[in-house]
Amino acid sequence: MAPGDLILTPSWSWHDHGNETGETVVWMDGLDIPLIQSLEAMFFQFYTAPQVPASRPPNASKQLHGHAHLSPTWVKEKPQSSPLLLYSWDQTREALSALRENDGSPFDGVALEYRHPQTGGPVMPTMACWVQLLRPGQQTKAHRHTGSAVYNVVHGTGSTIIDGQRFNWSKGDIIAIPPWALHEHLNASSTEDAVLFSIQDTPVLEALGLYYEKALEEKDGHQEVTSVFAAT
């Protein structure tokens, strides 16, 4: 696990977390537990030892499934969650860089979704992962949609305006966008790109026929800022 990497732990896989260095490591853990608990479909089991012995070589999933648009024909299983467990920052940075000048989405900038290599679908049935780049000074337009998102700032400084409230952010910050809240993003720097990672529950809304989206039409698509969030 290196900075910027996305690592998946699909449901019902033995897993443990560890830090083999002498330094602190921090990452954002994205879980669908509130949904699964409200559906009372939660199962949980402890392994018999503190650590699960590795049954495959390090990064075996990347060796097998990590190749752009080329898939192993001898692998017949298509698990619900992506069989690719590591999405390296190298590839992500390269993709963002290649698309940097693209118009992208008016609401999200150059927003890319991590994909299940075998189906082109979301990485998990309940959660999609996104990475998005905002060019220096870029301000997106406001929209709202069912489904919520939790953001992690990978790089840069800027702000997200949510239902009229401005949340200023910089590297490492976490921002949550509730369902149906109007939101727009701003890269506050005039020289540096901003990069945001996010986890979205869009796959749930789409699977149940509940995904709706609406752009703000007034004021050229921008909200009036009526307050600024201040962490205590």
Specify whether the CB–CB gap between 195 and 95 falls below 8 A: no
The CA distance from 56 to 40, in Å, is 32
Binding mask 166-185 for its own copies (x = CB under 8 A): ------------xxx-----
The reply on whether position 117 binds its own copies by CB under 8 A is yes
Identify the residue among 26, 39, 49, 231 touching its own copies (CB under 8 A): 39
Nearest-approach distance from CB 147 to its own copies, in angstroms? 8
The reply on whether position 41 binds its own copies by CB under 8 A is yes
Task: Using the CB atoms, write b or e for 41-66: b if 16+ within 10 Å.
Answer: eeeeeeeeeeeeeeeeeeeebeebbb
Cβ-based neighbour number of residue 210 at 10 Å: 11
Count, residues near its own copies per rule CB under 8 A: 64
The CA distance from 158 to 81, in Å, is 33
Locus of tokens 């853990």: 29
Binding mask 126-145 for its own copies (x = CB under 8 A): x---xx--------------
Give the interface with its own copies as residue ranges (CB under 8 A): 11, 35-36, 38-41, 43, 63-64, 66-74, 80-81, 84, 87, 91-92, 94-95, 98-99, 102-105, 108, 110-121, 125-126, 130-131, 146-148, 178-180, 201, 204-205, 207-210, 212
